[in-house]
Each structure stands twice: as structure tokens, then as C-alpha cells.
Amino acid sequence: MFVSCSNSSPDFRGFTLILPAVSVGNVGQLAADLIISTLDMTKVGYIYTDCLVPVVGNNPYATSEENAPELSINAEVYSLATKKLAVIQIRSPIVKNKSRSFCQLLISWVKKNGFGRVVLLSSSHAYQRDDQQLAGTPFRYLLTPALQSTVGDLMQKLDWKLLESMVAFPGVSEAEKCIIIPGGGITKRLYTDSCTEEIPLAVLLKFCSEGDNMPDAFALVNYLNEWLQLVQCTNSDGTMASTKWKVPSSWRLLFGSGLPPVLF
């Protein structure tokens, strides 16, 4: 599954692993872009699997003409040893009927490498919220039992909102409720599988709509930063600082290259 860029595989024991769900607005993937670009993380390998649609392109984090031609594929792993942080960036959808296999593949890799915790960045359709989800912050979180015991109190201090359970069969049975994440891709499956496999996983998601989702990505990564403190967010006097996230060069073509002048 994991193919290292060097002769030896990196040691991820105790690392925090961040990965995006391919979900509405691609918010998790855009947020992962900001983390990798800002922290100048090093590509240490890639995920080889038939569960993802094949894709190849130029270096999305190019900083000069020299490294721009470097190739990137559908799932790559970046690392920053000084922060004990690893990020999987996923750049293509999951092949139909392969989501279960992909989740099991991820869980197996997490166990094998001894990651300390996993954070899944996701999003959900804003228009499918129920009444209780319309009020307050657009952010929600979920924790597996394996992580609840260690960070549950911190989430309370941060005043974060747990994702509410929704009625499974509206108009039929109001008593039966479950976690529903419309537009969330593999989010619910990976969460439930991680609960079963005792993986310390947190889901951080934002309610949003399709469109220009760059502001949603900035908001989600700032939400994550409240917890993990990946970049400095307070001044020396203790006041809140404006967090500076570095936009990758690939975002210049996020909506295409524009209309050709010859049309006018």
C-alpha cells in the first residue's frame, strides 16, 4: 500500500495523521493543501491502491521552475518530523463500491505504523441540516471511544459542538437516531470502522455548499489549529494573532485558466 520515496520507510510511531475525506466542496482536501504548503512538509511516499481513480499532474506545491515539473499522483504522504505530523493528501474520488476496502486499507496502515491519533477533515451539505444543526457554529466534531478518553475534556474547554444524531427514518420512527453526514464521502464509514477497530480518530467537519470553497478550507484549518496548534495563533502578549496560511501555487488554477480573449 505505502511506497516510500527513499530506500527506508519513515517511522510514524506516535505521529498525528491528518487526512481529508473527498466530500462536498473538497474542503478537507483544500485544508490539507494549506497545511502541507504552510508547514513546507516533505513528501515521503505515496499510497498505491486500486480504490482511487488514477490521476497524475505537476507538483501542486511548486515554488520555482526547478521543482514545478515534479509529478504528483492521487494519494501522497507528507511528513514533518519536528512536529510528529503526517498528512495524506487525496486528489481523486474513490472508485465505486471500493469505499469499504479503502477504509480498511487505511485502518490497517494506521495500525501497522503505530500512529498516535488520526484526524479526518471533512464537510457536509449545509442544506441538509436539521433544526438543531442550524443554530450556532457551522463546525462539528466526532471522537471515537479510543480518543474520547484523552481529548474529550479539551473539546469541552474549546466549546466545540459534537455532531448531533439525526432521525434515521423521518415520519416513520422519531425515536431511532443515528449519525448522518450527507455529502461526507467516506467520513461516516471510516468513523464507524475506527470505533470498531479501536482507532483514536477525530472527525472535524464544516457544513458548506458547493462553490468557491477556499474560505471554507481556511475556516476548517483554523478550527483544527485551535486544537493542534500547528501554526502560531497568539501573540507574545497572549492576544489572538491573525494566522497566516500559505496558499499553494496550484490554487491559481482552481477554477481553470480563465476565458480565452479570442472569445471576445
In total, how many domains does the chain have?
1
What does the block give as the cell for 33?
Answer: 493543501
Helix 145-157 and helix 214-228: axis angle, to 10°? Answer: 90
Encoded amino acid at 47, one letter: I
Average pLDDT over residues 59-82: 92
Cα separations in angstroms, 121 against 118, 187, 207, 222, 264: 10, 9, 12, 12, 41
Quickly count: other Cβ atoms within 10 Å of residue 233's Cβ: 14
pLDDT tens across 87-104, in order? Answer: 999 999 999 999 999 999
Q: What is the pLDDT of residues 40-69, one digit of tens each?
A: 999 999 999 999 999 999 999 998 888 888
Q: Which helix (H) or strand (E) holds 57?
A: strand 56-58
**Which of 62-76, 107-121, 194-208, 213-227 shows the lowest per-residue confidence on average (mean pLDDT)?**
62-76
Closest CA to 185 of 115, 121, 249, 236: 121
pLDDT at 241 over 60: no
- One DSSP character per residue, 115-158 reads -SEEEEEEEEEGGG--HHHHSS-SEEEEE-HHHHHHHHHHHHHT
How confident is the prediction for the chain on average, in pLDDT?
90
Q: Is the pLDDT of residue 213 over 90?
A: yes
Of residues 253 and 164, more confidently modeled = 164
pLDDT at 68: 87
**CATH code of the domain covering residue 100:** 3.40.50.10900
pLDDT of residue 260: 73
> Which residue range is the domain that position 221 belongs to?
2-263
**Distance of alpha carbon 116 from alpha carbon 13, whole angstroms:** 7
Q: Is the pLDDT of residue 116 over 90?
A: yes
pLDDT tens per residue, range 168-196: 766 666 667 789 999 999 999 999 999 99
Residue 172 is predicted with a pLDDT of 62
- The average pLDDT across 224-250 equals 77
Q: Which residue has the cell 451539505?
A: 125
Distance, CA of 119 to CA of 152 (rounded, Å): 14
